[in-house]
Amino acid sequence: MGFWDELTQGMANAADDMRHEWERAAYDRETTGGLELPRAEAEPTKWDSLMAAQDAPQMNIEPPEPQQDMGMER
């Protein structure tokens, strides 16, 4: 788990604890469940695509031959 993941999880836990304390003071019980952060799937980054491109087989394509212009000369 990275630094930002730990930081956001810690902040979510702190907000959840404060909410539960407020509910206990206001209603003498907890009225809501625990706070769950959504887990997002990691999207590929530019670095991932560059590394994948390096692993891909290289295609050796030769450039086309230059063609002469058949137009009228002035």
Residue 29 and residue 13: Cα distance in Å, rounded? 18
Q: Residue 15 in contact with residue 35, Cβ under 8 Å?
A: yes
Supply φ then ψ for residue 55, to 5 degrees: -80, -20
Q: How is residue 62 written in tokens?
A: 């030769």
Q: What is the CA radius of gyration of the chain?
A: 30
pTM of the model: 0.42
- Tens-level pLDDT at each residue, the chain (74 residues): 688 888 988 998 898 888 888 888 888 887 777 767 666 666 667 767 766 766 656 667 777 787 776 666 65
- Token pair 């063609």 is found at 67
